[in-house]
A and B are shown apart, each in its own frame.
Chain A
Amino acid sequence: MTLPPLLPCDLRARLIAGVAVLLLIAPLAHLGPALAALAGVLALIVLRRQPIPWRRLWHLEAFLILLLVTLPFSVPGTPILELGPLSASREGVLRAGVVAAKVAASVLFLTLLFAGVEPARLGTTLRALHVPEALVRVFLGLVRYLGLIRAEMQRLQDAMRARAFRPRSNLHTWRVYGYLLGMMLLRALARAQRAEDAMRLRGYTGRFLHDTPSPLTAPDRIAALALPLLAAANLGWDLIAKGAGSA
């Protein structure tokens, strides 16, 4: 690679830099810096040759859309549009634009941050970041068993479908889903017991062997510093821009 990596390859550095960038995007209050953050993230995606996850963007939560629709009417300011008793303010429209840009930038950055990351590899990273061992093991246990549990649930749902079950909004549906979940819980508890027994039989004493993370490389260090610095500069611009634009 002749290009600088832009995002740290090391997961520890990537996670810390990523959280820092997202925290520095959160307080942005002006349209310029918010759009700059979005443009920066888009540039990063293009430079990393990643596809833009349009589906993630459109799959915004219902309440966010609600937020963007109501903000123009709930922020007081210069009216630009009258709808009966409601009036949309210029400030409100700007505010909605800021929130939309920030959310889009954050969502895109998050997908970029974890693109191609195997969750199972995060265990080492989290340990290196001094996350409590028990929490790391619960996380790894979830990573390990989620696929299995989902496959089991799929089998049960296939069986339900084979008996001509179709979900509707009635008590019968809820009862069937209740039994499905109850069955899943029973099987999961039995499986947890078996897993625990198997670990004990193999002499598990409360410690897993795990690899020591390799030291950070120079490009990783540079990338880990450069990204939050850019985001901090953007926030600085936002703070100076006070007065102009929306508040």
Chain B
Amino acid sequence: MAHIPDGVLSLPVLLGGGALAAAGVGLGLRALDDRAIPRVALLSAVFFATSLLSIPVGPSSVHLLLGGLMGVLLGVGIFPAVLVALALQAVLFGFGGLTTLGVNTVNIALPGAVVGLALGPLIRRQTRPGRAGALAGAGAAAAVFGTGALVAGALWLSAPEYTPVARVLLVTYLPLALVEAAVTAIVVGFLTRVEPAALAPALKMRET
């Protein structure tokens, strides 16, 4: 649902999204140490694989976006991680789009990065797994709604006739936000318990 295919959006929206994504990826790469590249690639692979899971919700099912969790674990490194995942998805499955790569990257990575930067330090400071999980869960829900708002915004900016669809779309993000919040809370609680260091973006490697 978060992947807008080619052929729907208008040219200015496509170009604007591309420019924003380029800026974000540039920011992410600048923060990225050479030695952290395997970490970003592997986390990207985990998020890619997990997003293929279909999780039942009532009569329907959802696929996780995990923007909030990625933001906490990767910081601004989320931009390159999401971009490569979407690019590979387009190459392997023809899923999403090529011209919409920029827009889709921004839609998923920007809310995640904001959540990661805003809540990340607070989450890492928690010693109680439950509290860290609750914070992360709230962040994950916020990131899902952020993505929903950006997708709706991209549609609305492309053509005013898309407005009803954009509205319905926002409603469909409700169950996704609920599931993402629950799963993210568990993941972050788990990591706080067993390996708190994993929650740091670690884009710069310390010499050990």
Of the stretches A1-9, A170-178, A216-224, the one at the interface is A170-178
Contact with A along B55-71 (1 / 0, CB 8 A): 11110000000000100
Give bound CA distance, A144 to B179, whole Å: 30
Which residue of B is nearest A134, CB measured?
B29
B20 on the A face (CB < 8 A): no
Give bound CA distance, A148 to B52, whole Å: 15
Of the residues A74, A99, A141, A193, contact of B7 by C-beta under 8 Å? A99
Interface size class of A (residues with CB under 8 A): 35 or more
Taking the closest CB of chain B, its distance from the CB of A74, in whole angstroms, is 5
Given contacts A74-B163, A134-B32, A149-B49, contact A22 B198 (CB under 8 A): no
B25 on the A face (CB < 8 A): yes
Give bound CA distance, A185 to B197, whole Å: 12
Q: Does the CB pair B48–A139 fall under 8 Å? A: no
Taking the closest CB of chain A, its distance from the CB of B98, in whole angstroms, is 6
A92 on the B face (CB < 8 A): yes
Q: Does the CB pair B34–A61 fall under 8 Å? A: no
Q: How many positions in chain B have a CB within 8 Å of any CB in the partner chain?
A: 73
Q: Is the interface of A mostly helix, strand, loop or mixed?
A: helix
Q: Does the CB pair A149–B56 fall under 8 Å? A: no
Give bound CA distance, A26 to B57, whole Å: 34
Chain B, range 36-87, C-beta contacts under 8 Å to A: 37-46, 48-50, 52-53, 55-58, 69, 73, 80-81, 83-85, 87
Q: Is the interface of B mostly helix, strand, loop or mixed?
A: helix
B183 on the A face (CB < 8 A): yes
Q: Does the CB pair B198–A185 fall under 8 Å? A: yes
Give bound CA distance, A135 to B58, whole Å: 39
Given contacts A23-B99, A122-B91, contact A182 B191 (CB under 8 A): yes
A80 on the B face (CB < 8 A): no
- CB-defined contacts of A174 to chain B, threshold 8 Å: 55, 179, 182-183, 186
Give bound CA distance, A150 to B88, whole Å: 14
- CB-defined contacts of B3 to chain A, threshold 8 Å: 61
Taking the closest CB of chain A, its distance from the CB of B186, in whole angstroms, is 3
Of the residues A26, A70, A134, A184, contact of B49 by C-beta under 8 Å? A184
Chain B, range 115-136, C-beta contacts under 8 Å to A: none
28 A-B pairs within 8 Å (CB atoms) are namely A18-B98, A22-B98, A26-B11, A63-B165, A64-B5, A64-B8, A70-B165, A103-B7, A106-B6, A106-B7, A107-B6, A110-B6, A113-B98, A114-B92, A122-B91, A134-B34, A138-B81, A139-B84, A141-B42, A142-B44, A146-B49, A149-B45, A171-B182, A174-B179, A178-B183, A181-B46, A186-B194, A188-B42
